[in-house]
A and B are shown apart, each in its own frame.
Chain A
Amino acid sequence: MKNLLYKELKLAIHPMVWFFSLFGLMIFIPNYPNCVFVIYTMMAFIFLFQGARENKDIFYSVLLPIKKRDIVKARFYSIASFELLSIAVAAIAGVCTYFMGYGPMGKQIGSMTDGGGIGIPPTFAFFGFVFLSFAIFNSIFLNIHYSKGFKMLVPMIVASFFGVLPVLAAEVMASMSNTPLENISYQLDVISADTLLCQLIVLFSGIAIYVGSFLLTYFNSAKKFEKTDL
């Protein structure tokens, strides 16, 4: 596996993919919907999979003395590394905005204290929804990609559409501060003693769904790949 991961880093993963992980820094942009970084992160998959296809990575890999299943495993490691790196960048940016007191950057001033501001700030709950978005994206895209002869475009569009819904929903829900759903908005928008439990439940639920769906998608994709006639 070590050698395959080396191959992924050295050959298969286009350098642009790592660049896309920096889109988490968009959290710094004042009054800008945070969900956008998730959309950019998903777009990086085009570089990852299109590059591998153009370079005939599957034919290169399948002729090596390795298990077919491990080719898929290495790719899944790459995907998880990239997504988690993107989330880490966004989380660090989120923490920074918090400590910067929202002053110089003008980031959603007061949003963490009174539930105001545009969309959802980078709270624990927000990242729970980010994990959920990636879980949906991975489940749709990777399952179709490995089941339907490595198709790219249609699975990418479908997966992106459904994948972005959780973070979009989070943006909408967090913006309903003057509606009957004000409490939900408050719970998602504000980190305080009375919202922390809800925030952490959303975060860990997102992580659990991400991990669970990732493993299921891997097992299914590896099985499909092993059965595919190349």
Chain B
Amino acid sequence: MSENVLEVKDLSKKYPSFQLSDVSFSLKKGEIMGFVGRNGAGKTTTIKSMFNIVHPDSGMVLFNGTPFLDHELINKQKLSILLGGVDYYPKTRIKTLTQVTKRFYQNWDGPKYENLLKRFALDENKRITELSAGMKVKYGLAIALSHHAELLVLDEPTSGLDPISRDELLNIFENLVDEENVAILFSTHITSDLEKCADTITYIQKGKLLASKSLKDFKQDYLFIKGPVTEVFEKIKNKAISYHLRHNEAEALFKKENYPQNSDYQAYIPDIDTIMVYLEKESGNEEPLI
């Protein structure tokens, strides 16, 4: 039996102004995958296409080794998708929303839900609109875990949260993976979150998959240099993915295999933030305006 809880194969979806092209990746049980890309890269479209919320033109999604759509209703019992925080029925009390939601899940675990409410300090009598952004995500997690979801798909769960709330949420993710062996796929453009807890990274750029590998391997694919603009820089700059010049200082990101060995510059393994910024520079290279 496949160890992968989720396999996405060649997922494509064409819109008039955007195209998702052959996105493939897989996620194992007990793994946290960061799904990254800049705004509009296709993260949400991918998630929606995976679970039939939008209809992909081609491609396949396997859930626990079998096509997701073959047993859609059974599979949906075992996963939880959270698009942002819980922002539906904002004027409804948590108690009422849960009372309705739990009826749809065969494996609803009431005592576990009560425990999670206590653990997340959620007041059942509060309305959704009264919850902070972080609490909305926690409520979504409480619902997901109370029906024993094996896969949590969270679309930008940490966006709009302050650093402390983000850190708290990331710790919860880690605990869930360790304690419950769930798999978590979470999309974000806040790359520091990924440094903290992601096991693997799937990077999407303009609807195309750029990489899907372990965090360590992903970072080691790149080298970053910083230093004065010299003749050496002028020679090697064309091999850079992109670079930035200011006050005669240069910064540049290279694919590891393209970085010249005889360069005078000290090369570092960059953080994801740096990789993302330099990968996404529109023109590829950036000369100073003046």
Chain A residues engaging chain B, CB cutoff 8 angstroms: 3, 6-7, 10-11, 55-57, 59-60, 62-68, 227, 229-230
Contacts and interface: CB of A to CB of B under 8 A. Distances in A.
A11 B103 CA distance: 13
B1 interface: no
B73 interface: yes
Contact of B89 (A55, A63, A65): A55
Interface residues of B, number: 27
Contact of B88 (A6, A56, A227): A56
B96 A10 contact: yes
Interface of B: 48, 52-55, 72-74, 76-77, 80-81, 83, 87-92, 96-97, 99-101, 103-105
15 contacts: A10-B96, A10-B100, A11-B89, A11-B97, A55-B88, A55-B90, A57-B89, A59-B83, A63-B53, A65-B74, A65-B76, A65-B77, A66-B73, A66-B76, A230-B53
Nearest to B140: A63
Nearest to A63: B81
A6 B89 contact: no
A41 B103 CA distance: 31
B73 A67 contact: yes
Identify whether the interface residues of A are mostly helix, strand, loop, or mixed.
Answer: helix
A37 to B, nearest CB: 29
A62 B77 contact: no
Nearest to A70: B73
B130 to A, nearest CB: 15
Contacts of A57: 88-89
Contact of B100 (A7, A59, A68, A227): A7
Nearest to A12: B89
Contacts of B99: 10
Contacts of B97: 11
Contacts of B77: 65
Contacts of A63: 53, 76, 80-81, 83
Nearest to A61: B88
A58 B99 CA distance: 18
A3 B106 CA distance: 12
B76 A230 contact: no
B55 A6 contact: no
Nearest to A56: B88
Given A3-B104, A56-B88, 9 more contacts: A3-B103, A7-B100, A55-B91, A56-B89, A62-B53, A63-B80, A65-B73, A65-B74, A65-B105
A227 to B, nearest CB: 7
